[in-house]
Amino acid sequence: MNAPKDDTKAGNFLRAIIERDLAAGTYAQRHFAGTPGDAAHHAAGPTDAARIRTRFPPEPNGYLHIGHAKSICLNFGLAQDYGGVCHLRFDDTNPEKEEQEYVDAILDAVHWLGFDWTAGGVEHLYYASNYFDFMYRAGEALIEAGHAYVDEQSAEEMRSSRGDFNTLGSDSPFRARTPAENLARFREMRDGRLADGAAVLRAKIDMASPNINLRDPALYRIKRATHHNTGDTWCIYPMYTYAHPIEDALEGITHSICTLEFEDQRPFYDWLLDTLCNLGLLAQPRPHQYEFARLNVTHVVTSKRKLRALVDEGIVAGWDDPRMPTIAGLRRRGYTPASIRLMCERAGTSKAGGWTDYASLDIALREDLDAKAARAMAVLDPLRLVLTNWDELMGAGTIDACSAPVHPAQAERGRRAFGIGREVWIERDDFMEQPAKGYFRLFPGNRVRLKYGHVIECTGCTKDDEGRIVEVQAALVPDTKSGTPGADAVKVKGVITWVGATDGVEAEVRLYDKLFTDEQPDAGGRDYKASLNPDSLRVVSAIVEPSLATSQPDDKFQFERHGYFVADRIDHGEGRLVFNRTATLRETFAK
Ligand code: ATP
Ligand code: MG
C-alpha cells in the first residue's frame, strides 16, 4: 500500500525526531530477538533489521473511531516510511472491560485501513497481558532496589497525602518500610492474602515533586477479577502508567507515540524505564515517548464511552451504524480506506490541538472516488412523467434504447444501458408548476433534456385531491435524442436525470447526514446528546437504473447529481437493493 503523499508531511514534527535519531544512529545497534522480552532475551538476538519500531496500542474495550484511525495511520505510516515495523498491541491490562468482539473488530479495522502488523513473515501482534509475569518481576526488582513500597493507607489518606498543584505531598507512614518487608507484603498481595483495595504497590520517587505524577504513583492494585487472557491467575493488576512503558520496552519500541494527555506522564515513563534499564532488566537503548494533539473532528464525538452510550441507548443502530465515526461505521457509510488515510494525513500531526472539519473527509472521499466510482442515475423522490406524444411518435409500447458511459472520462469501462418509454420517473423537485426565478428545469412551456435521452417540453401536471402533484406531462421533441445527428440543434438550459418506468428498479436509499448539529458536540463538557440531528437519517424509496440491479455489497457509485453512494454491506443483496449516501457532490448541508 502506498501512503498518500502530501506536502503536510513536512509539518509532521515526529518525522524530524525520527530523522534526527536515524542520522545519529540512536537505535542502530539495538538488538531484537524476534519476539518481545527482557534485556537478556534481546541481547541474545541479532541487531534489529527494523530501523524504528512504533506501535498502535488500543484497549480492546470498544470499536475504533476516526481518532484511532489517525493514530493507526501515524504509527503504521511512520514505520512504513522509515524502514521500520509497527506492532499492533492490545493493551489489555485492565481485566474488566475487554471482549473478543472488540479484539476482532480492531484487527479487522486496521487491516481494512490498509495496514499490516506482519513484517518479514513475522506477526507483530501482541497482548500486554502476556507481559504480566515480567511486570510482576519488575515490581519485585523495584522493591528490592528500594524504588517501590507497599502502601496500606486508605484511598482517602493516599489522596490527601498526595497534595495538589499548590500543596506538596507528604510521605506515607508506610514509605519507610524495608525492602524485605515490602517484598513479603507484595507477595501477600499477589497471593490473595489482602482484600481488594487494602494495599497498593507504589513507586518511591518524590512526594514533593512539582509533577504530581511523580509523587509515588501506584504501580499495582489488588482487584479480584477474571481476565480474558490470564483467567484467575492474578488478583493484582498493573496500573496503565506502569504497564505501558514496560510493554514498549519489552517490544523494542523506539518511538512511543501517544496523545498529549500523557505529556505529564512522560517523566514517570522515563524514570521507570531508566530505573529498570539500570537494574539490567530492560534492553537499551530504551523507547522514548512523544506526544501529539489528538484528532478532533467536527460534528462527531470521539470517545469510546460516549459512542457506547449512543449504541446502548439505541440512538444509533449499532457500532457500525453509518452515522457513527467508528471505522466500522465509516466503512459501512461508504468511506474508503484511502479517503480516511488522506484525511488523517491532511489533518497533520502537531502539538497544537484543533478541530478538523468533517467536510475534509468528504473532500477526500470525492477525490478518491471521482475517478473510481461508476456512475448511475437514481431518482430519490420519484414523480411520474408521461410523454403524451410517445405512442404517436415512437409507437405504442416502444422502448427506445439509451446508454451512458460507466465513467465519463474512462471510455474503456464501457457503457450502461437503459431504456426510455412513454413513462419515466423524474425527481419531484425537477418540476415546478410556477417556476421560481432562475429555475431552468421543468415547468409548463419549458424544455429540458432528459440526460442521455431526448429533449421534452412540459405541457402540464395532474394533482390529487389534496393538491399534491402526482404526474407531470410533457411532449417529446422529435430528433433530439442524445448522440444522434442534429440532437443539439434544440438548445435547452436544463438537463435532468431520470429512470425509465419500465426498466427502473426499486431501491431503499438511506440518506445520512451529520449525527450532531453542533460543530463541537461535547466541547466544554456540554451534553452532546442535546445536539443530536433529528434528520441524520432519512430513508426513501427510490427508483434506480437497471445497471444497479446486479451491484454487490460495498460497491460504490456516483449517483449523477446526487452524490456518492455505497451498496450497504449488511442489508444489500438477495433481491433487495439498499444504498447509503456517503457524501453529497459538493459541500452543502445536505437537503
Ligand atoms: P477513548 O477515549 O475513545 O477510549 P483511548 O485513547 O482511551 O480512546 P485507546 O484504545 O487507549 O483509546 O487508544 C489507542 C491509541 O489511539 C492510543 O495511542 C491513543 O492515544 C490513540 N487515540 C485515541 N483517540 C485518538 C484521537 N482522537 N486522536 C489521535 N489518537 C487517538
Ligand atoms: Mg485509553
Q: From ligand 2's centre to the CA of 250, what distance in Å?
A: 20
Question: Does residue 31 form part of some domain?
Answer: yes
| Cα separation of the two ends of the chain | 36
Distance CA 166, CA 223 (A): 32
Which CATH number fits the domain that encloses residue 201? 3.90.800.10
User: Rounded mean pLDDT of the chain?
Assistant: 95
Distance CA 234, CA 243 (A): 15
Confidence of residue 574 (pLDDT cuts 50, 70, 90): confident
Question: Does residue 590 form part of some domain?
Answer: no
Do 436 and 348 share a structural domain?
Answer: no
Give the pairing of strands 556-559 and 374-376.
Answer: parallel
Do 202 and 159 share a structural domain?
Answer: yes
Q: From ligand 2's centre to the CA of 494, what distance in Å?
A: 54
Question: Does residue 512 form part of some domain?
Answer: yes
Confidence of residue 5 (pLDDT cuts 50, 70, 90): very low
Q: Whose CA is nearest to atom 2 of ligand 1?
A: 303
Q: Whose CA is nearest to atom 4 of ligand 1?
A: 304
Distance from chain centroid for Cα 519 = 18
Contact 167, 160 (CB under 8 A): no
pLDDT of residue 268: 98
Evaluate if residue 17 carries a pLDDT over 80.
yes
Do 246 and 221 share a structural domain?
Answer: no
Q: Which ligand is nearest to the CA of 65?
A: 1
Closest ligand 1 atom to 72 CA: 16
Contact 14, 292 (CB under 8 A): yes
Evaluate if residue 590 carries a pLDDT over 70.
no
Question: Does residue 591 form part of some domain?
Answer: no
**Domain final residue, candidates 503, 537, 568:** 503
Evaluate if residue 325 carries a pLDDT over 90.
yes
Please report, as a single letter, which amino acid is at residue 388.
T
Do 220 and 120 share a structural domain?
Answer: no
Q: Could you list the residue range(s) of the whole structural domain that residue 379 is in? A: 374-503
pLDDT of residue 588: 67
pLDDT of residue 591: 36
The x, y and z cell numbers of residue 231, run together, are: 483467567
Confidence of residue 170 (pLDDT cuts 50, 70, 90): very high
- The model's pTM is 0.94
**What sign results for the dihedral spanned by CA atoms 389, 395, 399, 405?**
negative
Q: Which whole-number Å values give the CA distances from 116 to 33, 88, 113, 340, in the listed order? A: 20, 9, 9, 16
Which CATH number fits the domain that encloses residue 443? 2.40.240.10
Question: Does residue 314 form part of some domain?
Answer: yes
For ligand 1, pick from 59, 68, 241 the residue to mutate: most ligand atoms within 8 Å of CB. 68
Question: Does residue 454 form part of some domain?
Answer: yes
Query: Does residue 59 line the site of ligand 1, with CB under 6 A?
Result: yes
Q: Which whole-number Å values give the CA distances from 161 to 169, 204, 214, in the listed order? A: 5, 14, 13
The x, y and z cell numbers of residue 284, run together, are: 537499551
Do 333 and 201 share a structural domain?
Answer: no
The cell 480506506 sits on which residue? Answer: 337
Query: Does residue 350 line the site of ligand 1, with CB under 6 A?
Result: no
- Out of 59, 188, 263, 508, the active site residue is 59
pLDDT of residue 354: 84
Query: Does residue 169 line the site of ligand 1, with CB under 6 A?
Result: no
Query: Does residue 84 line the site of ligand 1, with CB under 6 A?
Result: no
Q: Which whole-number Å values give the CA distances from 567 to 323, 340, 363, 583, in the listed order? A: 15, 19, 20, 13
Mind spelling out the 3-state secondary structure of 286-297? Answer: CCEEEEECCCEE
pLDDT tens for 345-391 read 999 999 988 899 999 999 999 999 999 999 999 999 999 999 999 99
> What is the maximum alpha-carbon separation in the chain?
106
pLDDT of residue 91: 95
pLDDT of residue 4: 44
Distance CA 239, CA 248 (A): 15
Do 243 and 97 share a structural domain?
Answer: yes
Evaluate if residue 585 carries a pLDDT over 90.
yes
Query: Does residue 303 line the site of ligand 1, with CB under 6 A?
Result: yes
What's the DSSP call for residue 2?
A: P
Q: Which ligand is nearest to the CA of 258?
A: 1
Question: Does residue 184 form part of some domain?
Answer: yes
Neighbouring-strand partners of residue 511: 538
Evaluate if residue 7 carries a pLDDT over 60.
no
Q: From ligand 1's centre to the CA of 59, what distance in Å?
A: 8
Do 124 and 260 share a structural domain?
Answer: yes
Query: Does residue 348 line the site of ligand 1, with CB under 6 A?
Result: no
Confidence of residue 587 (pLDDT cuts 50, 70, 90): confident
Confidence of residue 327 (pLDDT cuts 50, 70, 90): very high
Residue 510 three-state SS: strand
Q: From ligand 1's centre to the CA of 70, what distance in Å?
A: 9
**Domain final residue, candidates 464, 482, 503:** 503
- 70/96: higher pLDDT: 70
Contact 412, 374 (CB under 8 A): no
Distance CA 189, CA 207 (A): 23
pLDDT tens for 188-247 read 999 999 999 999 999 999 999 999 999 999 999 999 999 989 999 999 999 999 999 999
Evaluate if residue 2 carries a pLDDT over 70.
no
Do 192 and 320 share a structural domain?
Answer: no
Q: Would you call 294 a catalytic residue per the annotation? A: yes
Q: From ligand 1's centre to the CA of 489, what distance in Å?
A: 61
Q: For residue 51, how many other CB atoms are within 10 A of its CB?
A: 17
Question: Does residue 4 form part of some domain?
Answer: no
Do 116 and 35 share a structural domain?
Answer: yes
Q: Which whole-number Å values give the CA distances from 538 to 80, 509, 542, in the listed order? A: 41, 8, 12
**Any idea what the Cα angle at residue 413 is, between residues 412 and 415, rounded to 5°?**
105
Query: Does residue 211 line the site of ligand 1, with CB under 6 A?
Result: no
The x, y and z cell numbers of residue 269, run together, are: 515513563
Confidence of residue 9 (pLDDT cuts 50, 70, 90): low
Query: Does residue 256 line the site of ligand 1, with CB under 6 A?
Result: no
Do 547 and 515 share a structural domain?
Answer: yes
Do 394 and 496 share a structural domain?
Answer: yes
pLDDT tens for 98-125 read 688 999 999 999 999 999 999 999 999 9
Number of domains in the chain: 4
pLDDT tens for 70-82 read 999 999 999 999 9
Q: Would you call 59 a catalytic residue per the annotation? A: yes
Q: Would you call 5 a catalytic residue per the annotation? A: no
Do 465 and 380 share a structural domain?
Answer: yes
Q: Which of these, 504, 493, 390, lies nearest to 448 by C-alpha position?
A: 493
Share of the chain above pLDDT 70, in %: 97
Please report, as a single letter, which amino acid is at residue 19.
E
